[in-house]
Amino acid sequence: MRTVLIVDNHAVVREGVRAILARKRRYRICGEAANGVEAITLTRRLRPHIIVMDISMEPMDGLEATRQIVKLAPRTRILILTLHESQQVVREVLKAGAHGYVLKSDADQDLLFGVDALAQGGTYFTTKVAQMVLGTAKPAAHPDGPPPLSRRQREVLELLASGKSNKEAAAELGISVKTVETHRQATMHKLHFTSFSDLVRYAIRERIIEP
C-alpha cells in the first residue's frame, strides 16, 4: 500500500482528493498539510511515497516546498494539483523537480491516473499540460481511422483502462511489468496520445471497455 500526503490550503480540496483516492484501496492518506512548511515537516516525519501538492499557499508555496522535498526525500514522488495552467508555471514546476501536473479542473478524471503513474515510478501530465510544455497541438487525427492495435496491445489497454496497475496487468497476462509498460507506451505512440486519460477515452470510444 502506498502512502499519500495531501497538501492544499483549502480543507474542501483536501477532502476531495481524499475521496478520489479512496476509490482505490492501494492508497492510504498518511497526513494532510495546509502549506509548504507543514508539508516539509510531515514529509520529514512520515516519508510518504507520494505527495499531492497545491502551488498557491502561504507562508511557503508549493514550488519552494517541492524544491526542498526533492532534496530531503528524493524517493518521494510529487504530483502538483493546481488551478494554474500557464506555460511558465508548468515549466517552473518541472524545474522544481515535480513528477506530475494535474489541473484541478481535471482532477476527477485525471488525479487517480496521475497518482497511479507516480506510484509505478513514472510521470504524469494531462493532455492540456503536455501540450503547453511540448508546444504541440491536439493529438493528430487519423483520416482513415485510428491504426489497429495488436492483440497484446489491446489486452494491455483493456486491463489498464479498467483500473488495473501495471503489476496487476502483468500478472493477469503472464508477462513482465516492463513489457506491460512497453505495450502501453507503444500504444500511446501509435495513437499520438500524450496522456493515459487519452487512452482511457479511446478505450471507451472503441468499446474496448465499458464506461
What is the residue extent of each domain of the chain? 2-134, 151-205
CA 103, 107, 110 angle in degrees (round to 5)? 95
CATH class of 2-134: alpha beta
Q: Is residue 146's pLDDT more than 70?
A: no
Is domain 151-205 in CATH 1.10.10.10, yes or no? yes
Of residues 79 and 23, the one with the higher pLDDT is 79
pTM, to two decimals: 0.65
DSSP sequence for 26-80: TEEEEEEESSHHHHHHHHHHH--SEEEE-S--SSS-HHHHHHHHHHH-TTSEEEE
pLDDT bracket for residue 73 (50, 70, 90): very high
- Bigger pLDDT: 79 vs 134: 79
Query: 200, 190, 4: which is closest to 109 by C-alpha?
Result: 200
Q: Residue 89: is its pLDDT beyond 80?
A: yes
DSSP 6: E
